[in-house]
Amino acid sequence: MSDYKAPVRDMKFVLNEVLAADRLLATMPGTEEVNEELINSVLEEAGKVAASLLAPLNRSGDEEGCQFSDGKVTTPSGFRDAYRTFAQGGWIGLAGDPAYGGQGMPKMLAVCFEEMIMAANSSLALYAVLSAGASLALARHGNEELKQAYLPRLYDGSWSATMCLTEPHAGTDLGIIKTKAAPQADGSYQVTGTKIFITGGEHDLTDNIIHLVLAKLPDAPAGPKGISLFLVPKFLPDANGEPGERNNLGCGSIEHKMGIKGSATCVMNFDGATGYLVGEVNKGLACMFTMMNYERLTIGLQGLGLGDASYQTAAAYARERTQGRAATGPVAPEQSADPLLVHPDVRRMLLTMRANTEGARALAMYVGSQLDVAYFHPDEQARTRASKLVALLTPIAKTAFTDKGFEACVLGQQVLGGHGYVREWGQEQHVRDARIAQIYEGANGIQALDLMGRKVVHDRDALLDVLVDEIRDYIKAEQNGRASPFIATLSKALDCLVSTTQWIRDASAENPNEVGAASVAYLELMTLILYLYMWSRMVSTASEALEKGASDKDFYTAKIQLGCYFLDRLMPRYKALAEEIKAGSDVVMAMDAAMF
Amino acid sequence: MSDYKAPVRDMKFVLNEVLAADRLLATMPGTEEVNEELINSVLEEAGKVAASLLAPLNRSGDEEGCQFSDGKVTTPSGFRDAYRTFAQGGWIGLAGDPAYGGQGMPKMLAVCFEEMIMAANSSLALYAVLSAGASLALARHGNEELKQAYLPRLYDGSWSATMCLTEPHAGTDLGIIKTKAAPQADGSYQVTGTKIFITGGEHDLTDNIIHLVLAKLPDAPAGPKGISLFLVPKFLPDANGEPGERNNLGCGSIEHKMGIKGSATCVMNFDGATGYLVGEVNKGLACMFTMMNYERLTIGLQGLGLGDASYQTAAAYARERTQGRAATGPVAPEQSADPLLVHPDVRRMLLTMRANTEGARALAMYVGSQLDVAYFHPDEQARTRASKLVALLTPIAKTAFTDKGFEACVLGQQVLGGHGYVREWGQEQHVRDARIAQIYEGANGIQALDLMGRKVVHDRDALLDVLVDEIRDYIKAEQNGRASPFIATLSKALDCLVSTTQWIRDASAENPNEVGAASVAYLELMTLILYLYMWSRMVSTASEALEKGASDKDFYTAKIQLGCYFLDRLMPRYKALAEEIKAGSDVVMAMDAAMF
């Protein structure tokens, strides 16, 4: 099993060269001190933490799994110490609010860190990213008292957090949850109900666990507009802020799963547990969406990171394993066979993995940069514009990164043949661990519906126009530039997107089923366009660096070659997607339900 | 977890109505007695065996797995009894030679049975299908003495068999195997070497295990032309043909794998073990290919069967689970939510699974019918023509069924959301069990190379012409028939295939890397065309049945609706595949090996 190496060089390229991060960050109060030197040193430190602290526990954590006994969860050997060391490094609060002990780093840098820890050990990383996401929701929507009591403990990792949404009968459809919150005389609430699939609901890594729970007040309206958000700690803080009285909640069992076996997935029972309202009554879903949108991008990074980890093992194997001969004649005549890399189809698998991974990585940092603008930028118009891009791009990033990430893990397993199916090389674990990312945090089909329905067809904020205008401006500026073949296809594909969007808008006005019938193919069409947009920008930047005589010639040359592979071999699919969409919904809805 | 139900109705439709099996079988000596009544009763019995004997042990077999201790393998509880009962039913020799105790059933019927047992319990089924495949190789290439000594025991299931090809350094590249066979004075051989990934190499199901082993004679030429095939039994038969002296071979360990955990995957050590030559010296690879081609189709059926099993669970879940509301208004206003089936995207997943499954099932029986013609038909020209089709179609069937089968299992898991990721519903096991089918029996990339290289570009037998002519004749006969929209697309896609093939032939004459750069996309293009060919025939037949007032109206209507889904939503991809191929190999080969 080859060791994980964080893709620091590629991240520096995108952040510093393609996105010119320090120029952007310098313009915004709160990020002005984050310069290229700081970016590079955070990336390098993060890479070391991921590779040396988290990665070594990845396979043993899978083998051992979490154990449940008498309401207690024991995480795999080594997890507790590693988590403490990790937390003490300040990593959990990396992008946290400095007023409460966070490091205040921009999101465009934090996404790099999250990709690394997810790649190195998704199970262990999940405890951290849930704490970071819950902190964000609390920082945005909690009152001052809650923030002071909980944020410093969450940022320093002595406490962790969860998000409690799903119930046995209510997963995607949160409007029908049954968990109740009864108001108490002291302003607190008593929360009662059962939540399932709660990641990190119970474990032995931290001194306290803070649950963010969706529940309904007694008089709440039916459906999603009657949901409120509550903070429910495992131990109620005492007068000194230390974990005090045990709250009335507990873990009923943990799930036996396909993968992420070091992550405890819990059934949580709240039995009149004391909780505190976060945000306004009946607006809990909107507050929770702050955390959910954060986690959606982060879970996207899980797919991306695991795809990269799988690539690294597969590429190392293909360089070393000898089997067969090159079609053009032996390249290693002194050996009984040539390295796998001489075979075009082995390269196809590796290049497909990597072209999607590097396209996704650039897009992740791009989305991160828009999150930073939306939060830190002094100009309101700039913030609004960036918020619109984030709203549009979040479901795409979550779905694209996890679908292509899973596909990459499957390809990376295939490169190793039978050796990929046995446990030894770790490739089968990557497949199992990546699979969940397509399912949780809103299944990918739901993300596509969110994009197609809320963000495109029924949208009144012209979200799509912001993106289309940006890419059109880019095309105009670059059409005779260094990446002109990319620009030509990007222009055609964008026209295809615009006409297909119009077709769906028109068709769905007649028949609302057109939205759901088109959604997944539409998201995939958007993905191809966004990846091509990123590849165009990366190829331009790399070409410019080569022209200027950059020293790292091999890196830039490979980057351009990989971009060409994406353009020539992965992009042609976009036209078929438009055709599939325009086949319409009738053929999807025709069959009688009884005949399924 | 829903119960597996064998798709008997669909199989009857394809065999009896689409392929008119009994008319074909009546013309061939050896199969003339297999009429529709017999076909139907075999299908029904097979369905019962799969559902009631094998399926109940599927999950427990996965949970328990095989255990290895002191050279012995213990299969999961219940496997031994079920295997004995199964064998006593005569199922292992279903298509075996009646002269040695086989049932002599045609392959077009046997493929249905194999799909069922693979769907119900792949791990347990593997022991049986390896015995059946080894029997076939022995029946075709073994001498009379070997056949009399071994075939009856293999057919009645008291003994089982394996195929021993792979070595630690030699998987795909069998030319470099190191296992040696030293000739002995009595005409036998002493076989020495290590084989890995041997399915059923050791277990407790049968009284003896017969290994078919590839090895090299001391003076053998280098490469694939120096390989011979040996029969090496675990116990040497005594004078009465009963298991006697223990041979010098043993199991060193078993693999810990992603799935098929009830199937023992063994490291086999041969230490001067007594073996007997099968076929001619140095022609072992050709003899083994009789078994390998058999197993390739059978492993294809593993993908197909597991995809169907996953569909059945997903469809049952989608009918019952309520979540959200139909876009066109509630269909179950009395409940808090509508069934999942109201959502177009849930239907998309189910219809995609099923359209590929039913297309594959028809193609499996079509290939089975060609195998029957190739073996049983009295006319030599007919036999030759069928053999050519089989040679062309075997790598496609293996790859298409397993790739689409795995995709179906992933979709079937997705339909269940988080419930698909936990063990309880069995959907995650289907994904893990189906994954191996893309890897073993020649990884799918190798199948594509076999198709593109040996069977198309370097072929001197005009294999492709046989298929293209058949489909062209069909198009001519049916262009104004009941499935005319299918015929129109089939005609365009076939033209695309022909022109793309010519492009590859021309380009690869200049650059041999074009073969490997095109192969996987080419196989996928062929798959779409073959599935559409099958769907056209099924839709025609179903339409005719409806016109004639058939009683099973719902079945035929659903069949036509599913065909339309395939045509409109899955077929458009073919043009993109041609475009990807024509991008050529340069973009695949450009990157320096050191930069991977």
**Residue A456 forms contact with B (CB below 8 Å):** no
Question: What pLDDT is recorded for position B172?
Answer: 82
In 3D space, the residue among A34, A4, A44 whose CA is nearest the CA of residue A108 turns out to be A34
Tell whether A174 lies on the interface with B, counting CB pairs under 8 A: no
Contacts of B579 in chain A (CB under 8 A): 572
Q: Which residue has the tokens 């189709």?
A: B297
Strand, coil or helix: what is A378? coil
CATH of the domain at A194: 2.40.110.20
Cα distance from A174 to chain B (closest Cα, Å)? Answer: 9
Check: CB of residue B391 under 8 Å from CB of residue B455: yes
**Residue B387: its pLDDT value, please?**
95
Sign of CA dihedral B458, B461, B464, B468: positive
Give the span between the Cα atoms of A136 and A254, in whole angstroms. 26
- A177 and A208, same domain (yes or no): yes
Tokens of B328: 């066109």
Do both B193 and B145 map to the same domain?
no
Of B318, B323, B554, which has the smallest distance from its Cβ to A172's Cβ?
Answer: B323
How many Cβ atoms sit within 10 Å of the Cβ of residue A218? 8
Cα(B211)–Cα(A390) distance, integer angstroms? 60
A573: nearest CA partner in chain B: B576
Give pLDDT tens digits for A68-82. Answer: 999 999 999 999 999
**Domain co-membership, B145 together with B13:** yes
Q: Do B168 and B257 have their domain in common?
A: yes
Q: What is the mean pLDDT of residues B107-120?
A: 98
Please give the average per-residue pLDDT across B504-524, as a whole number: 98
Average pLDDT for B22-42: 96
pLDDT per residue over B236-253, tens digit each?
999 999 999 999 999 999
Q: How high is the pLDDT of residue A557?
A: 98
Domain boundary among A94, A122, A150: A150
The full length of chain A comes to: 596
For residue B2, is pLDDT > 70?
no
Q: Are residues B31 and B124 in the same domain?
A: yes
Q: Are residues B164 and B146 in the same domain?
A: no
pLDDT of residue A2: 56
With respect to residue A443, please indicate whether it lies within any of the assigned structural domains.
no
> CB under 8 Å to A333, separation ≥6 — which residues?
none
Residues B23 and B374 sit within 8 Å (Cβ to Cβ): no
Tens-place pLDDT, residues B149-177:
999 999 999 999 999 999 999 888 888 99
**What is the arithmetic mean of pLDDT over A469-475?**
98
User: Is the residue at B290 inside a domain?
Assistant: no
Q: What is the mean predicted confidence (pLDDT) over B383-401?
A: 97
Cβ contact B428–A258 (<8 Å) = yes
Mean pLDDT of chain B: 97
Residues of B in contact with A589 (CB under 8 A): 344, 347
pLDDT of A339 > 60? The answer is yes
Is 60 exceeded by the pLDDT of residue B190? yes
Per-residue pLDDT tens digits for A263-319: 999 999 999 999 999 999 999 999 988 888 888 999 999 999 999 999 999 999 999
Is position B329 within any domain? no
> Which residues 6+ apart lie within 8 Å of B154 measured at CB?
B92, B93, B96, B131, B132, B134, B135, B138, B160, B161, B210
In a domain, B201, yes or no: yes
Q: Do A436 and B421 touch (CB under 8 A)?
A: yes
Domain boundary residue, one of B150, B178, B206: B150
In a domain, residue A62? The reply is yes
Residues A127 and A94 in one domain: yes
Q: Which pLDDT does position A172 carry in this prediction? A: 82
Place of tokens 């050279």: B71
The rounded percent of chain B whose pLDDT value lies above 70 is 100
Asked whether residue B317 is assigned to any structural domain, the reply reads no
State how far the Cα of A532 lies from the Cα of A519, in Å rounded to an integer: 20
What are the tens digits of pLDDT across the range B300-358? 999 999 999 999 999 999 999 999 999 999 999 999 999 999 999 999 999 999 999 99
Return the closest-CA partner of residue A196 out of A271, A273, A269. Answer: A269
Q: Does the residue A82 lie in any domain?
A: yes
The per-residue pLDDT for range B530-584, each reduced to its tens digit, is 999 999 999 999 999 999 999 999 999 999 999 999 999 999 999 999 999 999 9
Domain count, chain A: 3
The pLDDT-based confidence of B433 (bands split at 50, 70, 90) is very high
Residue A143 sits in the same domain as residue A259? no
pLDDT in the model for residue B290: 85
CB–CB contact B558 A328 (8 Å): no
Are B135 and B186 in contact by the 8 Å Cβ rule? The answer is no
Query: Is the pLDDT confidence value at A581 over 60?
Result: yes
Asked whether the predicted pLDDT for residue B202 surpasses 60, the reply is yes
Q: Calculate how close chain A gets to B425, using CA atoms only, in Å.
A: 11
What are the pLDDT digits (tens) for A159-209?
A: 999 999 999 998 888 889 999 999 999 999 999 999 999 999 999 999 999
Residue in B320, B314, B315, B338 with CA at minimum distance from that of residue B328: B338
- For residue B593, give the nearest of A319, A428, A561 by CB distance: A319
DSSP assignment, residue B71? Answer: T
With CB atoms and an 8 Å threshold, state whether A595 touches B410: no
User: Which residue type is seen at B254?
Assistant: I
Reduced DSSP (H G I as helix, E B as strand, rest coil) percent helix, strand, coil of chain A, to 5 = 60, 15, 25
User: Which chain A residues contact residue B345 at CB under 8 A?
Assistant: 445, 448-449, 516-517, 519-520
CATH of the domain at A146: 1.10.540.10
- Residues of B whose CB is below 8 A from A513: 327-328, 344
Whether residue A165 is found in the same domain as residue A146: no
Contact between chains at A422 and B257 (C-beta distance less than 8 A)? yes
Of B265, B511, B517, nearest to A348 by CB-CB distance is B517
Are B189 and B143 contained in the same domain?
A: no
Give pLDDT, residue B100.
Answer: 97
Tell me how close the Cα of B92 comes to any Cα of chain A, in angstroms: 26
The amino acid that residue B502 corresponds to is: Q
Q: What is the rounded distance in angstroms from the CA atom of residue A108 to the CA atom of residue A365?
A: 5
3-state helix, strand, coil in chain B (%, to 5): 60, 15, 25
Q: How many of the other CB atoms lie within 10 Å of CB of A20?
A: 14
User: Which of these three, A231, A256, A282, is where a domain ends?
Assistant: A282
Instruction: Give whichever of A173-177, A461-465, B284-288 has the largest mean pLDDT.
Output: A461-465
B268 falls within a domain: yes
Q: Which SS3 state, helix, strand or coil, does residue B187 take?
A: coil
Give the tens place of pLDDT for each residue, A95-118. Answer: 999 999 999 999 999 999 999 999
Same structural domain, A67 and A200: no
Q: Which two tokens stand for residue B259?
A: 């799935």
- Is pLDDT of B417 > 80? yes
Tell me: do A58 and A169 sit in the same domain: no
CA distance linking residue A586 with residue A593, whole number of Å: 14
CA distance B131 to B209: 9
What stretch of H or E contains A486?
helix A484-510
| pLDDT at residue A516 is higher than 70 | yes
Token digits for A149? 């009591």
Predicted confidence (pLDDT) at residue B457 exceeds the cutoff of 90: yes
Average pLDDT across chain A, whole number:
97
Q: For residue range A480-489, what is the model confidence (pLDDT) as tens digits?
A: 999 999 999 9
Range of the domain at B196: 160-282
pLDDT in tens, A229-256: 999 999 999 999 999 999 999 999 999 9
pLDDT of residue B289: 87
Q: Give A417-451 as a DSSP string.
A: THHHHBGGGSHHHHHHHHHGGGTSSS-HHHHHHII
| Chain A positions in Cβ-Cβ contact with residue B328 (cut-off 8 Å) | 511-513
Q: How many residues does chain B have?
A: 596
